[in-house]
Amino acid sequence: MTRLTALNPEEVTGKTKDLFNAVQAKLGVVPNMMRTMGNSPAVLEGYLNLSGALSHGKLSARTGELIALAVSESNSCDYCVAAHTFIGGKLLKTDEQVLQAARTGNSADTKTNAILQFAKTLVSKNGLVNNEDVDAAKIAGVSDPEIAETVAHVALNVLTNYFNNTANTEIDFPAVPSLELQN
C-alpha cells in the first residue's frame, strides 16, 4: 500500500498542473513517482531541474542510467530499479547483461566500471570518500567534471530512492526481480 498519494493529472491545478503538463509532453505519460512528487511542486520541480541539467552534462544518458541502477540497488529501491531497467533497456537499447552488471556496480568498460564503483562508494560512505577513492576513478580515466557529475547523479538518485521508499510508490514499470531471487 502506498503511503503518499499519487495525484491524478486531470485533477491538479497551478504549478503542479504546469509541471505535469511538461512531463506529459516530454514522456507521453506522468509516471507514478512524479505524480506523487507533485504533492510538493517544489520537490517535483527540483527533481526535474537537476535531472534536466544533468542530461546536458559530460556523462552520457546511458552512463546516467547505469549509475541510477547501481545507486538504486544499493538503496533497495524497487521502483527505481524497475524504472531505470526499463529506460536503459527499452529507450536507450542497453544490453540486459550490462544493466544487470550495473546493479552491482560493475561494467566491462574500465572507465564506466570506475564511475559505477565510485558511485557505490559514495553511497556506502555517505559521501565521505577519501583521496584513494577519487584517485582510483582518476587513474581509470574519469575526469574532474565526470566525477562532479557522478556525485550529482548519485544525489539525484538518492533523492528518488528515498522518496519512493518513503512513499512506497506503486511501480508502473515492468517489475524487476531482486538480485537475491536471481541467484
pLDDT over 60 at 183, yes or no? no
CA-based nearest residue to 155, from 119, 116, 111: 119
CB 54 within 8 Å of CB 64:
yes
What residue type is assigned to position 67 of the chain? I
Angstrom distance (rounded) from CA 37 to CA 169: 10
Give the range of the structural domain holding residue 82, as residue numbers without chain letter. Answer: 61-168
Predicted confidence (pLDDT) per residue in 8-61, tens digit: 999 999 999 999 999 999 999 999 999 999 999 999 999 999 999 999 999 999
Exposure b/e, 33-72, CB count within 10 A at least 16 = b = bbbbbbeebeebbebbeebeebeebebeebbbbbbbbbbb
Predicted confidence (pLDDT) per residue in 91-114, tens digit: 999 999 999 999 999 999 999 999
Angstrom distance (rounded) from CA 76 to CA 138: 28
Q: For the chain, what is the mean pLDDT?
A: 96
CB 30 within 8 Å of CB 9:
yes
Residues 91 and 109 grouped into a single domain: yes
Residues 33 and 116 grouped into a single domain: no
Residues 30 and 81 grouped into a single domain: no
Residues 154 and 79 grouped into a single domain: yes
pLDDT over 80 at 146, yes or no? yes
Residues 72 and 100 grouped into a single domain: yes
E strands, the chain, in order: none
Angstrom distance (rounded) from CA 51 to CA 134: 23
Q: Taking residues 151-159, report their average pLDDT.
A: 98
Angstrom distance (rounded) from CA 129 to CA 35: 34
Instruction: Provide the whole-model pTM.
Output: 0.96
CA-based nearest residue to 103, from 129, 77, 132: 77
pLDDT over 60 at 123, yes or no? yes
Which helix or strand (DSSP H or E) is residue 70 part of?
helix 61-74
Predicted confidence (pLDDT) per residue in 70-84, tens digit: 999 999 999 999 999
Predicted confidence (pLDDT) per residue in 170-182, tens digit: 999 999 988 876 6
Residues 114 and 159 grouped into a single domain: yes
Task: Give me the number of domains the chain comprises.
Answer: 2
Residue 90 Cα to chain centre, angstroms: 16
CATH number, domain of 112, equals 1.20.1290.10
Residue 137 is predicted with a pLDDT of 98
Contacts of 149 (CB under 8 A, 6+ apart): 54, 57, 58, 59
Residue at a domain's end among 39, 54, 69: 54
Angstrom distance (rounded) from CA 57 to CA 6: 30
